[in-house]
Amino acid sequence: MFDSSPSSPDALLAAYAGRVRVRTGGLLLRDGALLLAGHRGLLPHGAPFWSPPGGGWQFGESLKAALVREFHEETGLTVQVGRFLHLHEFSTDKLQALELFFEVLADGAAQPQLGHDPEHATDQQLLVDLAWLTPRQLLQLPPAQVHPVLQHILSTDDVFVPQVRFV
């Protein structure tokens, strides 16, 4: 059954469900921790899903331009896109995406601030938090709360080794 109340997970994800998306994501490292965005709507009981900032690739823009735009929307940071790191097929019963992750660099003095998704109304934002998380902190979270690209990493070095993952 579809729950259509504005803050229900089904309603929050309706814009992305039932179609294939191409997403870009950025891996930003600072002082041994990765900048991650907490999203709501993907897990039961309001648990956050932690993934690298990023989002959908739009017609007419390059992958790198999409990442710069999406990273700025979600974190307020202006980044430079570095090397390509990961290709990942993300799939749930409602969502499907091909995700391309790149290393990103930002001014070390700039502080991220929780942004917004322009596709969603203020009360229907998927973004709920930004945090710098170390591999040790990620390992302490339930695996379902951590993006598959970041599950089971023991060191930030593990993140910066290019990989391709298909389910």
Q: Which domains does the chain have, with CATH numbers?
A: 20-165 (3.90.79.10)
Give the separation between CA 161 and CA 158, rounded to whole angstroms. Answer: 6
> How much is the pLDDT for 36?
98
Q: Three-class SS of residue 36?
A: strand
- 79, 28 contact by CB (below 8 A): yes
- 149, 165 contact by CB (below 8 A): yes
33-39 vs 127-133, strand pairing mode: antiparallel
**pTM of the full structure:** 0.84
111-140 pLDDT tens trace: 999 998 887 778 778 899 999 999 999 999
- Asked if pLDDT for residue 54 goes beyond 50, the answer is yes
Tokens of 35: 């900048």
